[in-house]
Amino acid sequence: MKFIVSSSYLLKQLQVLGGIINNNNTLPILDNFLFNLDGSSLTVSASDLETTVSSKLEVESNEKGSVCIPARLLLDTLKTFPEQPLTFTVEENNTVEISSNHGKYALAYADGEEFPNAVELSDPSSTVLQGDVLATAINKTFFATGNDDLRPVMSGVFFQFSTEGLTFVATDAHKLVKYTREDLTASETAEFIMPKKPLNLLKSILAGSEEDVTIEYNESNAKFTFENTEMVCRLIDGKYPNYEAVIPKENPNKLSIDRNQFLNSVRRVSIFSNKTTHQIRLKIAGSELNISAEDVDYSNKAEERLTCDYQGDDMQIGFNSRFLTEMLNNLTSDDVSLEMSLPNRAGILTPVDGLDEGERVTMLVMPVMLNN
């Protein structure tokens, strides 16, 4: 088996696939890339058993065969080459020889048959999305996923497809983000929970992409196909919590403010907050917002006054500054609106501008109890 391929083209594809390989695999074969050659088409795959990603590459060859090549070693080697054609030859002595303009390098390989096969989806439903839309949906929700092993359903992003629109939700019980596209629909209703690792990979590959992504899914797996790449991953098993029930419907107190000014203020004041609770206090009266924090143990305190547009009763509410900062950071609008009902009910943060037609973002942040 022998083929010729451009070094930078190969490296670019392998770096994407390398993101799925674990540092400590239980199966040694998963430390490899699977190279599957069929004439001038080379399919390279990587897997961690839960997720398998494969890319098709154009190479010069008219042979067939499959081998597993150590991923780390191959990536480290490719990174050092300037752009040039590389010739891969599988030798009799169980090594793959790579020939460059200046030298030869031999790597031990394993049999391609040992590599686990990707799951075939039986009877899947499917939806087509533009790559950048999917990347944006992941970006907007990803940061709000939980890390609690006891509640695995919260460690992923909940995809909710219907004929009305597409909804993506993430929550860790302290904060919640719901991202909706009303301008895009699916042919039938479906719900599934996507794990973090494949989502992370998708958002880095698809950012800014205008290619269509076909998403196929059934009860247990999902498959994403775009350009020359396909990814199959196992879904998180379980029922997602009823997130609609925690979003307060009646929120008479509404604050509108410049996002950057609010974010910078929260960042500054939070430096002076208690290091375990990260608590900051918002005190709103008339058109004035007072943001303060105090760390009694160290006698540190700070307060800032901002002007805002506010309709509602005077109120004081406490938030964890880290959650507030994360949310404000994730929005791209100039102005944001914070809607509240009572100091012990969740606040709803939404962008006032900067959204596309049919795009909606709702962020929910749980308050912390203020000790007066």
Q: What is the pLDDT of residues 32-55, one digit of tens each?
A: 999 999 999 999 999 999 999 999
Average pLDDT on 156-181 reads 96
Query: Which letter does DSSP use for residue 197 in this model?
Result: H
Q: Rounded to whole angstroms, how far apart are CA atoms 314 and 296?
A: 25
d(CA 214, CA 121): 13
191 is written with which tokens? 């719900």
Question: Which pLDDT does position 187 carry in this prediction?
Answer: 87
CA pair distance 307, 285, nearest whole angstrom: 10
Domains and CATH numbers, the chain: 2-114 (3.10.150.10), 125-244 (3.10.150.10), 248-368 (3.10.150.10)
| CA 139/CA 146 separation, integer angstroms | 15
Rg (CA), the chain: 25
What the block records as the tokens of 328 is 């404000």
From 183, 190, 167, select the one nearest 357 (Cα to Cα): 183
- In this prediction, residue 149 carries a pLDDT of 87
Classify residue 234 as exposed, middle or buried by CB count within 10 Å of its CB (0-12, 13-18, 19+). middle
Q: How confident is the model at residue 56 (pLDDT cuts 50, 70, 90)?
A: very high
pLDDT (average), residues 56-71 = 96
Q: Give me the mean pLDDT over the 156-160 stretch.
A: 97
Q: How far apart are CA 40 and CA 61, in angstroms?
A: 5
Q: With H, G, I as helix, E, B as strand and everything else as coil, classify residue 18.
A: helix
pLDDT recorded at residue 208: 86
Share of the chain above pLDDT 70, in %: 100
pLDDT of residue 370: 83
Q: What is the pLDDT of residue 289?
A: 97
Judged against a pLDDT cut of 70, whether residue 372 lies above it is answered with no
Q: If you average pLDDT over residues 94-99, what whole number do you get?
A: 95
Mean pLDDT of the chain: 95
> Mean per-residue pLDDT for 200-222?
93
| Cβ atoms of residues 101 and 84 within 8 Å | yes
Average pLDDT over residues 171-183: 96
Q: What is the mean pLDDT of residues 332-338?
A: 96
The first and second tokens of residue 31, run together, are 């430390």
Distance CA 302, CA 294 (A): 7
- Whole-number Cα distances in Å, 53 to 223, 268, 334, 337: 10, 42, 38, 40
pLDDT at 371 over 90: no
Residues near 264 by beta carbon (within 8 Å), at least 6 away in sequence: none
